[in-house]
Structure 1
């Protein structure tokens, strides 16, 4: 089989690919971070690239997604173009600094008692009178510091170098241990240097917090886009990729581990610390991200009855996953609740103390998958609503992530005004901007309760008349022109199509149905809910008023909304700093009752009602 060279600009990366493979496959093989929101199956039209300087005939799908102007400029879709010659490809470079990655979170304190600790001891010298082993003398000293260490075990690999270390250190050593085992020994008193990192692995972003495990102080934060976006924007498309490719799991795990290892280095550089000073890492994420991180198949999460491989907490050696921290370091992965309600939701409950509060609270983390928890200390119920990637922009014609160039907020006054991330020309619309636009449509009567974009002659609200000229025809139906092509960064018009509204309706219908079914399960009304906690990036950037106007959140809860930021990150930090909190996370995961929406008799009715405006 012939092979051809593909050069990627502006990186100048070169790769040889077999004839007939796609540019998408070349990008993934090269390791370049690039978005394939639909997983590269040709359903979104967003993997735009430029072929230099050759002119290639467009495929049928490209003709559907790309304008005539784009085709003349050599713009193509990476998932569509097959390689039959040497090619030079220009890619739009990702830059994490240009994305709104949520780092702040609601904070709460806890007693510092980390999962891995250091204890300085001065071991007694051996004697002829008392023939005590090195380990026995060490345990006796540890027991004086903490009685629970009296029967502590020791790793065999540590035991092998114990006698030499004790004597080389003149019997003054620091013991590295978790709650049951001596993991390592260091010469002298190194107890002042012990760091940990708490990670929240999201479908779209990863955030890591570097923590001093002696004081509980946060030293630095490091974040990045999840590079797994090259395999798809949502968990379903990534699961599909894993199922359809022999090395799919291995590739996705390797991708996430490299990203986390880099974030560890970045966080340490910011704090002027060393990798060998990091002894423990906590991990939270949705169940799919959790499994891929561990190298476990998510195959059965995506198929009825949606069963994960493991839901219990698990700890493993950092060296087993090739994460470069102290050789004694361990990784603690928090438990999950169900196939689509993961350790990140457990961490949100941990951070907000919903499980300890008498007031009934509703927690919502809206992303490609909406996780919802309702209840109080007496009972907590949860569900997962398949919102799809509409809020992330993947299913929206002019949609994009919350990055530079995204319209993030829109206001309808006498004129329509908007703000753009980075303050330049707009490139597209992110989820919060989309929500504002649809809310404006609802309030002005530009759409009816079924979501149909009305013609100007059908407007009944006088205020809507100011926007008559925004109504255009697209694909033989009405659309709303947000920004004309001459005012955008890429020369493409930014619009809201009828299909875009349908995609949003499906997403908000699922979330709305999930909330109402949980309310029914608890036998309460919305009046009984004292607080609505919005977690995650989308929830914290959106306008709560817009969410309530369109019915994403019940309207009578608007005054009760509280943003809690990256509460999953806070939960991860709490587990890192406190064994008690880590153990509590397991209790939360095992007591929260999961409700499978698809199995509820009233789901279809609630979903249909939730789709209406």
Structure 2
């Protein structure tokens, strides 16, 4: 097979690429971090790179998406450009931009009950009289500490270590216990410290919290983009990749395990401790991310009846999953509820204590796969709304993630104003800005109830007159200009197109329909809901008024909305610090009644109604 040299700049990264391979594949193999928001399907046009040497002929789809000026400058789409000769490829600056990753959350306390225990013991010395084995004498020492002999067990690896550890420590050791299992043995008394890490593995980001398992103190917090974004922005694209791409599941699992290990190193270095000081990991993740982390093919989630391979909580050896912590370490997986309502939702419910609430509350985690739960201590119903990628920036013409350069909020004052994450020239809009922009168009009467952008001479609201210059034509349809090409960071205009509004209507329609269905299932009206709790990054950054104006959340609930931050991360921490809270996650998961929206009798009509805007 013929190979070519591909050099990526900046960084001067040299890769030998097989003839005909796509740049996307080459970049993934080289470990270059890059978002392929549509999973490399050639639909979003966001994977722009510049081929500065070895320029290739653009394919038809590139000619449709890219401007003539861009094509002439060597701009290509990495997912469509094939390697047929030596290339020098310049990656865009925004690929290295810092993303806003939500790590904070409303906290709640719980009794500290470590899932693992360190038990200092003195093993009796061997004697000719008793001829007791090392394991027998270790058992007897643990029995003196209150353990039942019949329940004690261990592993072959511990038995192999045991003779040297006991004799090297002059019979004074520390047993690392998980329930009645000896998970590890250490010389001398090492019980003074024991650390753990709680993780929230999201589709887009991963956040980890390093905790003292004795005191519950948070020692450091680390985060990163989920490297699986190189294989697709959303759950569905990764389900497809895992099921149909050669070694797809292995690639996805290695990516997330590698990210977890890097975060463990980073968290430990921040406070000058060792990975070996970490004994327990908790994982909260949606069902797809949960399965991929474990190396379980998530294919069953994607086909009817959309059931996961497993839902139960798990305690696994960290070494089995190649997680680099203490060799006695365990990984605690929170349980799933259904195929598209996962352990992250269980963690949110644990944090909010919805299962113990006297009042009916609505909990919403808005994302590409929005999870919604409604209820109280009496009962809880939940559903998953396939909101699509609009809130994450994919399939939006000027969309991007919430990173530096993204317009994050839009204001309709005497003139159009906006804020940019990190300041400087805008590069695109993230989901919160999309909501603001469209909500303003609804309030000004620039959109009709079906989402059509009206021509200037059709406007009846005097306040809309001052935005006449923002009303433009794009590809034969109306569009709303946010930033002219001359003031953006990439020289392209940033706008809201008619297609963007349609994408948002589908996304908000799915979420709003999910809320409606749960209220009908529960038998209540919006006014019966005491509180609306918005979890997750998008929910934390959006303007509640904008969400209510477009109908994402029932307008009558606007005054009841509270942002609770990364509640999934908080739930993961609670489960790590308390064995009773970890056990409680199983009760929560089993108590929730999952409602399959696709099977709900009136879902299609409800969804259709919810795509409309309410025009005053």
TM-score > 0.5 by shorter chain:
yes
Query: For the aligned residues, what is the CA RMSD?
Result: 1.6
2:541 is the counterpart of 1:541? yes
Structure 1 partner of 2:267: 267
Q: Which runs of 5 or more residues in structure 2 are unaligned?
A: none
Structure 2 partner of 1:222: 222
SS state at 1:4 partner: strand
2:477 is the counterpart of 1:477? yes
Structure 1 partner of 2:67: 67
CA distance in 1 between partners of 2:133 and 2:16 (Å) = 61
Q: Which runs of 5 or more residues in structure 1 are unaligned?
A: none
CA distance in 1 between partners of 2:7 and 2:178 (Å) = 49
Structure 2 partner of 1:45: 45
Structure 1 partner of 2:404: 404
SS state at 1:547 partner: helix
Compared with structure 1, are the counterparts of its residues 97 and 17 closer, same or farther at alpha carbon in structure 2 (3 Å cutoff)? closer
- Structure 2 matches for 1:98-497, cutoff 5 A? 98-126=98-126, 133-147=133-147, 151-497=151-497
Compared with structure 1, are the counterparts of its residues 523 and 505 closer, same or farther at alpha carbon in structure 2 (3 Å cutoff)? same
Superposition deviation, residue 136 in structure 1? 4.4
Given that residues 54 and 74 in structure 1 are in contact (C-alpha distance below 8 angstroms), is that contact kept between their aligned partners in structure 2? no
CA distance in 2 between partners of 1:42 and 1:577 (Å) = 44
Superposition deviation, residue 315 in structure 1? 2.4
Superposition deviation, residue 357 in structure 1? 1.1
CA distance in 2 between partners of 1:357 and 1:213 (Å) = 28
Greater Cα shift, 490-499 or 127-136? 127-136
Given that residues 226 and 256 in structure 1 are in contact (C-alpha distance below 8 angstroms), is that contact kept between their aligned partners in structure 2? yes
CA-to-aligned-CA distance 1:319-370 (integer Å, 9 cap, x gap)? 2222211111111111101110011001000111111111111111111100
Greater Cα shift, 495-504 or 148-157? 148-157
Superposition deviation, residue 53 in structure 1? 2.8
SS state at 2:300 partner: coil
CA distance in 2 between partners of 1:240 and 1:156 (Å) = 39
SS state at 1:184 partner: strand
Structure 2 partner of 1:84: 84
CA distance in 2 between partners of 1:92 and 1:117 (Å) = 49
CA distance in 2 between partners of 1:329 and 1:61 (Å) = 50
Structure 2 partner of 1:522: 522
Given that residues 147 and 180 in structure 2 are in contact (C-alpha distance below 8 angstroms), is that contact kept between their aligned partners in structure 1? no
CA distance in 2 between partners of 1:571 and 1:2 (Å) = 52
Structure 1 partner of 2:566: 566
CA-to-aligned-CA distance 1:172-195 (integer Å, 9 cap, x gap)? 211101113011111111111211
2:6 is the counterpart of 1:16? no
SS state at 1:44 partner: coil
CA distance in 1 between partners of 2:119 and 2:150 (Å) = 14
CA distance in 1 between partners of 2:183 and 2:366 (Å) = 39
CA distance in 2 between partners of 1:171 and 1:95 (Å) = 55
Greater Cα shift, 236-245 or 570-579? 236-245
Given that residues 337 and 590 in structure 2 are in contact (C-alpha distance below 8 angstroms), is that contact kept between their aligned partners in structure 1? yes
Given that residues 234 and 389 in structure 2 are in contact (C-alpha distance below 8 angstroms), is that contact kept between their aligned partners in structure 1? yes
Superposition deviation, residue 130 in structure 1? 5.9
Count of paired positions: 613
Given that residues 55 and 74 in structure 2 are in contact (C-alpha distance below 8 angstroms), is that contact kept between their aligned partners in structure 1? yes
Given that residues 408 and 420 in structure 1 are in contact (C-alpha distance below 8 angstroms), is that contact kept between their aligned partners in structure 2? yes
Superposition deviation, residue 312 in structure 1? 1.1
Superposition deviation, residue 163 in structure 1? 3.9
SS state at 2:326 partner: coil
SS state at 1:515 partner: helix
Given that residues 34 and 94 in structure 1 are in contact (C-alpha distance below 8 angstroms), is that contact kept between their aligned partners in structure 2? no
Given that residues 96 and 224 in structure 1 are in contact (C-alpha distance below 8 angstroms), is that contact kept between their aligned partners in structure 2? no
CA distance in 2 between partners of 1:149 and 1:418 (Å) = 68
Given that residues 359 and 530 in structure 1 are in contact (C-alpha distance below 8 angstroms), is that contact kept between their aligned partners in structure 2? yes
Given that residues 34 and 95 in structure 2 are in contact (C-alpha distance below 8 angstroms), is that contact kept between their aligned partners in structure 1? no
Greater Cα shift, 339-348 or 91-100? 91-100
Superposition deviation, residue 256 in structure 1? 0.8
CA distance in 1 between partners of 2:395 and 2:166 (Å) = 62
Compared with structure 1, are the counterparts of its residues 418 and 539 closer, same or farther at alpha carbon in structure 2 (3 Å cutoff)? same
CA-to-aligned-CA distance 1:289-316 (integer Å, 9 cap, x gap)? 1111111111121111112111112222
Query: What TM-score do you get using the length of structure 2 for normalisation?
Result: 0.97
2:574 is the counterpart of 1:556? no
Structure 1 partner of 2:34: 34
2:607 is the counterpart of 1:602? no
Greater Cα shift, 132-141 or 282-291? 132-141
Greater Cα shift, 148-157 or 593-602? 148-157
Superposition deviation, residue 11 in structure 1? 2.3
CA distance in 2 between partners of 1:355 and 1:180 (Å) = 30
Compared with structure 1, are the counterparts of its residues 202 and 148 closer, same or farther at alpha carbon in structure 2 (3 Å cutoff)? farther
Structure 2 partner of 1:25: 25
SS state at 1:175 partner: strand
